[in-house]
Amino acid sequence: MLPDILDMPLKLEVKVCTLCCRCRGDYHQGRRIMFSGVLGEPSKTEEERLKNIERTTKVLHDEKNPCIKEHTMSLKCLEDNDYDRNKCGWHFENYKKCQDFWSEIRVQRRRAGIKPNLPPVEERDEIKREYLEKLRSGTNK
């Protein structure tokens, strides 16, 4: 019986071009630079197996992505409009603003030495509320 592929830990080996700056690490001398996955030993416990599944699955939830709602809405708009990007500009702009906002929050927290850089889900509503109050009062930052 073959082992379950998700039951094995995934080790990523990053191949990065360090020879020049023109290729930006994507290509070098016509060759594609990419990740290569290497399977390790199978999990020994159910807990370890679940961790491996979580690690190898793309995580789309609030804890890792504070803009998941905006992301989902933009994808839904594309799907509803037969992938006509012109009809979903507002959703894309909203998603971009969300990413910019949380990126700035990460930078501010990193500079202040606050860990984790991305605030926990419980604190995000308060941070957004404070930001909106500053915008309404005209004292941005």
- 72 and 129 share a domain? yes
- 73 and 127 share a domain? yes
Per residue in 62-108, pLDDT (tens digit) is 778 899 899 989 999 999 999 999 999 999 999 999 999 999 999 99
Q: At what angle do helices 68-80 and 89-112 cross, to 10 degrees?
A: 160
The Cα 66–Cα 91 span in angstroms is 15
- 86 and 33 share a domain? no
Within a domain: 63? no
- 82 and 52 share a domain? no
Q: Identify the pLDDT of residue 56.
A: 59
Q: Assign 3-class secondary structure to 39-67.
A: ECCCCCCHHHHHHHHHHHCCCCCCCCCCC
- 90 and 123 share a domain? yes
CA distances from residue 49 to 5, 9, 108 in whole angstroms, order as listed: 10, 8, 36
Q: Identify the pLDDT of residue 126.
A: 94
118 closest CA partner among 107, 129, 133: 107
- Classified as helix, coil or strand, 8 is coil
Q: Identify the pLDDT of residue 55.
A: 66
- 30 and 90 share a domain? no
Number of domains in the chain: 2
- 23 and 50 share a domain? yes
- 127 and 89 share a domain? yes
The DSSP annotation for 92-113 comes to HHHHHHHHHHHHHHHHHHHHHT
Give residue 30's domain range. Answer: 5-56
